[in-house]
Amino acid sequence: MPVLHNRISNEELRERMLAETEPRTTVSFYKYFQIEDPKAFRDALYISLTRLNVFGRIYVAKEGINAQISVPQSRFDAFKTELFSSHPALDQIRLNVALEDDGKSFWVLRLKVRDRIVADGIDDESFDPSNIGEYLKAEQVNAMIDDPDTLFVDMRNHYEYEVGHFDKAIEVPSDTFRDQLPMAVDMLKEDKEKKIVMYCTGGIRCEKASAYMLHNGFKNVYHVEGGIIEYARRAKEQGLPVKFKGKNFVFDERMGERISDDVIAHCHQCGTACDNHTNCKNDGCHLLFIQCPSCAAKFDGCCSEICMTELKLPVEEQRALRAGRENGIKIFNKSKGLLQTTMHIPAPEND
C-alpha cells in the first residue's frame, strides 16, 4: 500500500527544495465538475503526482479541483499527460503558468478533500454554479475597461487588492471570499442593468462570483478568463496595453508576481511606497503585512516592537507566552491596525 501523505518534516522538505538544481515551473489550474468519489480521485492523483515529484497545494471536492503546484521542468509533459488523463473533464484543461517564477514556490505536496474547492458560504440549494458569466479575453478586457458603462469588480481579498488591481476596479473590502459574495451583491444592487466584470487571481473565484451575481438578478455579467495571470500573459504576448497596475498577490512562498512597475501600496509601518508582503518573524504572531526593507531591518522582520521584544526572549519563554493566546486575525487590516492585530485582541462583532 503506497503512502498517501507526507511523513517528513517541513524544515527538511524545504531544505531539500532549496538545494534542488533542476528548474521548476509554478502552475495553477481549476475546474468545476462533478467528482463522485473525491477521496478515491484524491488518492489516485496523489500517487501519480508524487511519482513526478510535484509539490504544491491541491483541493478536491465533489464540485471539482483547485490547484497551485510546482513541477520539475523535465517532467512537465509527463505531468500534463497524467492530469489530462485523470478525468475526462480535465482533458486539455487550461494551465496558468506563473509570470514570475524562481521555482521555489512550494516544497511539499498537500492534496486534501474539502467540502468546496473555494469556501463560498453558499447554502442556497437553487444556486447553479455552472450558470456562469461570459468569459473575456485580454483584448476584450481592455475594451471594457475603457467603457464608462462597465464596472470592474475585484473578487480578491483586501490585502490582494492593496498591492495591485485593474484601473478603476471596485474593491469589495473583506478578508474572505464567503464574505465578499453577499457584499458584492449589496454594493452593486443599484447597478443590475450595467455590465459587470468580475476578476481574481486565476479565475476560480470570479467564475463562481459571476454565477452568484446572475443568481441574484444581475443581467450582464462577465469574468476575466484565467484571471489576472492569464490576462497579463496574453496582453504581453499580443503587445496590448496592460491595464493591471502593481503586483498580483499569490498564495505561495513568492507572495506576489509583478505585473507592472507601479508600486501602489505602502509600508504598514512607515508609509513609504512598498508592495512587499511578509509574515511577522515572531512565531507567536506571523501577521501578514507590508514591510519595506528599512522597517524590516529596524524591526528585525517583526510587525511591531512588541513582537520584536518577544522574538528576542528564550524559546521556552516565547512558548509560554504563546500558550493559550487568542490567535485572532493574522492579516493586517487598516480598520484594525498593526497593534490590535498583533496583540490578537478580538475585534468587535460589528467590525
- Give the CB-side neighbour count of residue 33, counting CA atoms within 13 A: 12
How much is the average pLDDT of 173-197? 92
Angle separating helix axes 227-237 and 138-145, nearest 10 degrees: 100
Q: Which three cell numbers stand for residue 124?
A: 442556497
pTM: 0.79
DSSP states of 291-334 = --HHHHHHTTT-SSHHHHHHHTS-HHHHHHHHTT------B--T
Q: Would you call 292 a catalytic residue per the annotation?
A: no
pLDDT, tens digit, for every residue of 261-307?
A: 999 999 999 999 999 999 999 988 889 999 999 999 999 999 999 99
Q: DSSP per residue over 195-239, as a string? A: EEEEE-SSSHHHHHHHHHHHHTT-SEEEEETTHHHHHHHHHHHTT
Predicted confidence band of residue 45 (pLDDT cuts 50, 70, 90): very high
How much is the pLDDT for 6?
64
Q: Domains, the chain, ranges and CATH?
A: 10-113 (3.30.70.100), 134-246 (3.40.250.10), 277-342 (no CATH)
Q: Are the CB atoms for 309 and 281 separated by under 8 Å?
A: no
% of the chain with per-residue pLDDT over 90: 66
Which residues are within 8 A (CB) of 77 and not within 5 positions of it... i.e. 6 or more apart? Answer: none
The single-letter DSSP state of residue 100 is S
pLDDT tens for 50-59 read 999 999 999 9
* Residue from 200, 206, 267, 307 carrying the catalytic annotation: 200
Check pLDDT > 60 for residue 348. no
